[in-house]
Amino acid sequence: MPEFKLEDLTEEQLATALKQKKQEKELQKAKAKKEYVAKKETFCNSSAESFDKLHAELGTLKKLMTSTAHEIYDLMYEIDGKTPKETKSFSIKNQADNIKIVVERQERFEFTDEAIVHINAIRDIFKSKFSERNKGMYSILDGLLVKNSKMEYDPKLLAKARRQVRDLGDDELINEFDKLDECQEVTGSALYCRLYRRDADGKWQDVSLQFSSL
């Protein structure tokens, strides 16, 4: 290809060369964008397919494990001629005592609308008793009464606070926490099935199926 200098080109030739260069860049960009979209679509679709498959397999595994675990739990009683007791949780271990399966049904709680009355009363008591004397303690206690990311009060956290308040022996706070406890209602339940293995130190380690633990 013969060499040439820009100053040797006419304005028309220069314009044509610049236009051609621009078209080449646009074609390269379009090609790169097309490859990017194709790769993204393949990734999303294949990931969704894999997740759907694993979700179905895990659902089948959960049903099989919980149903079989309950059968074994019932047999444990029936072998001795006894009626199985109803329970929210139980565990099954192998003979070598290095595998444990835990089945647990946890109830979900929410507070009724009236709970805010007692939460505000508790907050006022905390403020009057601790805001001046111990600002650090007040900040911690007041933080227990803040809504979570779902804009809901955490029943478990408040239940823990209730136990700690009893240790303080403050009758006024205990009374408000007892009233708050009465404002809880069961809104549903969830069935969990977990498997544990003993490690080299003899401690039980959860065999988690969560991505974060892999």
Tell me how far the alpha carbon of residue 84 is from its chain's centroid: 33
What distance in Å separates the CA atoms of residue 145 and residue 111, rounded to the nearest whole number?
Answer: 13
DSSP H/E element including 45:
helix 11-78
Let me know whether 26 and 77 are in one domain. yes
Which pLDDT band, with edges at 50, 70 and 90, does 2 fall under? low
The answer on 128 and 64 residing in a single domain is no
Give the per-residue pLDDT at 12.
79
Domain that includes residue 133, residue range: 113-182
The domain tally of the chain equals 2
Count, in order, helices (H) and strands (E) of the chain: 5, 4
CA dihedral defined by 52, 57, 58, 59, rounded to 10 degrees?
A: 90
Residue at 108: amino acid letter: R
CA torsion sign for 112, 118, 123, 126 is negative
pLDDT of residue 134: 64
- Contact criterion met (CB below 8 Å) for 208 and 124: no
Q: What is the pTM of this model?
A: 0.60
Residue 88 has pLDDT above 80, yes or no: yes
Q: Is residue 205 part of a domain?
A: no
Same domain, 82 and 117: no
Query: Nearest Cα to 62, choosing from 196, 194, 201, 202?
Result: 194
For residue 90, pLDDT over 90 is answered with yes
State the pLDDT confidence band at 154, using cuts at 50, 70 and 90: low
Q: pLDDT: is 55 or 17 the higher one?
A: 55
In this prediction, residue 151 carries a pLDDT of 47
Is residue 176 scored above 70 in pLDDT? yes
